[in-house]
Every structure is written in C-alpha cells, then in structure tokens.
Amino acid sequence: MDNVLNIETPQVDVVRTGVADEVREQLAKHLSVILAETYMLTVKSHLYHWNVVGPLFKSIHDLTEEHYENLFAATDELAERIRALGHRAPVNVQEGKLNLSVTLPAGGMPSAHEMIKDLVQSHEMISAELRDMATYAGDNDDVVTEDLLTERITFHEKAAWMLRAIITE
Ligand SMILES: [Fe+2]
C-alpha cells in the first residue's frame, strides 16, 4: 500500500511540453492581442459586408463573407492554443487598454474604396505582428504556435491581395 501511495503522479496543471515557461507566457500574451484583433476584424468585415454600396457591392459583399467566416474560426484556434500553452484565453477588445492596431470605423460607414483600404491595412498590420511572433515561436522551440501563425499569415496576406485587386486598375 505504501508503494502505491509513493508513486509520483504527474501534476496535471503543469505544462511540460519542452517550451520554456517564459516563452509560453510571452506567446500567450501576444496571442491574446491577436485574438482580440481577429475579433475586431471579424466584426469590421461583417459591418462592411452588410453596409457596402455601389458598383463594388458584390465583390466586397462576397469576399468579406469568406473572410469573416475564416476569422471567426481562427479565434477558436488562437484561444485554444493559448489554453494549450497553459494560460487563460481572455478577450479584451477595449482598444485603449490593449492598444489594438485594428479598430472599427468611427463616424459612419466609409465608401467602398475606403472600406477596402481599411481592410487591407488591418490584414497587413496583423500579418506583420504575426510574422514577428512566428519567428519568436520558432526560435524558442514552439513549432506548433509557429505553424498556426504561419497559417494565419498565409490567410491575411491572401486576403489583402484579393481585396487590393478589387480596386487596382
Ligand atoms: Fe451575409
């Protein structure tokens, strides 16, 4: 009986996957900013999907639908990666607090051209942030986060290209 009691059981609340504690903490912190920005861009893509008018209506309406569906699915993947890294997954969309680079339109709906410029800028800003994080994750042995972020960069770069192509002469 003594032997049974002495068997060392692993602590289930401790993450030991070979990624250093401080790396997991840094990545979780940055992933939670990306999570909030991804939510903001989901909402913005939806707003433009509903409210766009003019000759570009169909192109923007259809493309933003594809995008908000991908973005919404990505929020779940990002949040679950934060949990697997051993941290809580907060959603804090108070722009001022987190200093998010993606914001919602202020002062009414922009024109179709302005919508596209705004969306391209948001996709590109997120891509740049993701690229820094992916490099950090890869350099610090977290290939799973690096892989997820690479997949997200691929989406955002393609989205920016397709949006930009709509207004390029
Ligand atoms: Fe719709």
List the CATH number of the domain containing 134.
1.20.1260.10
Q: What b/e string do you get for 80-117 counting C-beta neighbours within 10 Å, with b at 16 or more?
A: ebbeebbbebeeeeeeeeeebbbeeeeeeebebeebbe
Low-confidence ranges of the chain (pLDDT < 50): 1, 95
Query: Is 8 domain-assigned?
Result: no
127 alpha carbon – ligand 1 mean position (Å): 25
Q: Is residue 97 part of a domain?
A: yes
Q: How far is the CA of 50 from the centre of ligand 1 (A)?
A: 7
The CA 58 to ligand 1 mean position distance, Å, reads 11
The parent domain of residue 106 ranges over 20-167
Cα(115) to centroid of ligand 1, in Å? 16
For residue 3, being part of any structural domain is answered with: no
Q: What pLDDT shows up at residue 106?
A: 86
Q: Is residue 4 part of a domain?
A: no
For residue 48, the CA-to-ligand 1 centroid distance in Å is 10
For residue 85, how far is its CA from the centre of ligand 1 (angstroms)? 35
pLDDT at 97: 61
- Do the domain assignments include residue 10? no
Q: Tell me the CA–centroid distance for residue 45 and ligand 1, in Å.
A: 10
- Cα 94–97–99 angle (5° rounding)? 95
pLDDT at residue 29 in the model:
93
**125 CA distance to ligand 1 centroid (A)?**
25
Whether residue 154 is contained in a domain is answered as: yes
Q: What is the pLDDT of residues 69-100, one digit of tens each?
A: 999 999 999 999 999 999 988 766 654 566 68
Residue 11 lies in a domain: no
| Spatial distance between the Cα atoms of 47 and 9, rounded to a whole number of angstroms | 51
Number of domains the chain is built from: 1
Question: Quick check: is 2 in a domain?
Answer: no
Ligand 1 centroid from CA 121, angstroms:
22
**Cβ(75)–Cβ(38) under 8 Å?**
yes
pLDDT the model gives residue 89: 81
